[in-house]
Amino acid sequence: MTSPAVPTVFHLRRARDLIDRHFARPLDLDTMARAAGFSRYHFARTFRAAYGETPSAYLTRRRVERAQDLLRSANLTVTEICHLVGFASLGSFSARFAELVGVPPTEYRRQQVARGGPPPIPGCFLMAWGRPRPNKPSEQPGQRSPGSAISEKRAAESDS
Amino acid sequence: MINHVSHTTVWVLDQDRAKEFYTEKLGLELRNDVVMGGEFEGAGQGFRWLTVGPTEQPGVELILADCAMGHDPETTEQVRELVAKGALGPGVLSTPDCQKAYEQLSARGVVFVQEPAQRPYGIEAVFRDDSGNVFSLTQAYHAQVAP
């Protein structure tokens, strides 16, 4: 009934799970590729084909998403959160955060406090769907990323 | 009208391994493991009806379904891909003690993608089954109140 071998993406997912678990560590491409059991080149190429972004872009979005989670709920400074989620410098953290979320971390926290705290959505859903959308100004209509419909829905909801 | 959820489907890559994972690692109870034999005509023949459930909740069964069940070969491969790449999440399992369950399940080799964390509705951890399905494991602050 079942095919003998698991699909290739099964191994890629193990590497993606590694990113989701250990995003705070300094993960390099070698470590991620090892988790999948692939060569660096093969890993980077197949990961992008399966998940629509490079492993390092996935890692960055995961870190920024985790930072958003902490900014919504934890009583920590922006600098503490920056290091907790795996960024080496406050400058690069703030820049990447602003690029993906649209506002800097401090402003994001202020907005969240103003709207009355964290949304009543299970954390597993936030982790799966809450990552900020990749910023692709060059993206053509009709070449939407797999998560774009959800991001747009979320944006529409938060506007209302 | 509708009063309970009784069965829900979890697509798995390998039913033998899934049976072992769900019973021996997660500690669920085996409810059914039946191969549809000669008494069934047509497409159902040869399929394996494999279900498990929590001991404390006799009315609910997870159907550990082979990705081929009811599918043509092309669809089977598509479902296998989605399961294996981690795109599917069947739902939330509840526990009276998330931290303790996390420690016990981790010791048995269950892979968690999120450690227990406090959320507005309870304490929640997230793990995967051996196929790639993701589950939330939640200790709700108010039992019976959906998060």
pLDDT exceeds cutoff 70 at B147: no
The pTM assigned to this predicted structure is: 0.76
pLDDT confidence of residue B43? 57
Measure CB to CB from residue A122 to each of B80, B85, B119 and give the nearest one: B119
Are the Cβ atoms of A120 and B120 closer than 8 angstroms?
yes
Give me the residues of B, 71-130, that contact A with CB < 8 A. Answer: 77, 80-81, 84-86, 89, 92, 111-114, 117, 119-121, 124, 126, 128
Task: Search chain B and give the residue with CA nearest A122.
Answer: B147
Nearest to B114 among A2, A7, A127 (CB): A127
Q: Cβ A7–B80 below 8 Å, yes or no?
A: yes
Cα distance between residue A68 and residue A12, in whole Å = 26
**Alpha-helical segments (H) within chain A:** 8-22, 29-36, 40-51, 55-73, 78-84, 90-101, 105-114, 123-129, 148-159
pLDDT, tens digit, 9 for 90 and up, residues B15-51: 999 999 999 999 999 999 998 766 656 556 678 999 9
- Are residues B48 and A118, on separate chains, in Cβ contact within 8 Å? no
Residue B121, SS3? Answer: coil
